[in-house]
Structure 1
Amino acid sequence: MELLLKSIAKHVDLNEEEKDFLCSKVTEKTFKAKELLLKENEICHQSFFVIDGILQSYNIDEQGVKHTLSLATTGWWIADMYSFLSGKPGQLYIEAIENTTVLCLRKEDQQLLFDRIPKIDRYFRILIENSLIANQQRIIDNLSLTAEERYDRFCEKYPIIKDKVPQIHIASYLGVTPEFFSKMKRKLLKGN
Structure 2
Amino acid sequence: MKEQIKTYFARYVEFSNEEIDGIYSELKAKVFQKKELLLKENTICKYYYFILKGVVRLYYVDQKGNEKITQFAIDNWWVTHMESFIREAPSTQYLQALEETTVLYLSKETLEKLYLKYPKLERLFRIITENMLIASLRKSDIFLQMRSKERYTSFARTFPDFMQRVPQYMIASYLEITPEYLSELRRNSK
SS in 2 for 1:176: coil
Alignment of 1:1-192 (within 5 A): 1-189=2-190
Question: Distance between the aligned counterparts of 2:7 and 2:176, measured in 1?
Answer: 33
TM-score by length of 1: 0.95
CA drift of 1:65 comes to: 0.7
Question: Distance between the aligned counterparts of 1:177 and 1:62, measured in 2?
Answer: 18
TM-score by length of 2: 0.96
CA drift of 1:144 comes to: 1.0
CA drift of 1:28 comes to: 0.6
Question: Distance between the aligned counterparts of 1:120 and 1:27, measured in 2?
Answer: 17
SS in 1 for 2:172: helix
CA drift of 1:177 comes to: 2.0
SS in 1 for 2:15: coil
Q: Counterpart of 1:92 in structure 2: which amino acid?
A: Q
SS in 2 for 1:13: coil
Which shows bigger deviation, 175-184 or 40-49?
A: 175-184
Question: Distance between the aligned counterparts of 2:41 and 2:181, measured in 1?
Answer: 27
CA drift of 1:112 comes to: 0.8
When the two structures are aligned, how many residues end up with a matched partner?
189
Alignment identity in percent? 38
Deviation by residue 1:23-59 (Cα, 9 ceiling, x = unmatched): 1111110011001110000100101110011111111
Question: Distance between the aligned counterparts of 1:85 and 1:138, measured in 2?
Answer: 22
Q: Counterpart of 2:108 in structure 1: which amino acid?
A: K
Deviation by residue 1:44-78 (Cα, 9 ceiling, x = unmatched): 01011100111111111011111111111110011
Unpaired runs of 5+ residues, structure 1, are none
Which shows bigger deviation, 84-93 or 170-179?
A: 170-179
RMSD, aligned CA: 1.0
SS in 1 for 2:45: coil
CA drift of 1:188 comes to: 3.1
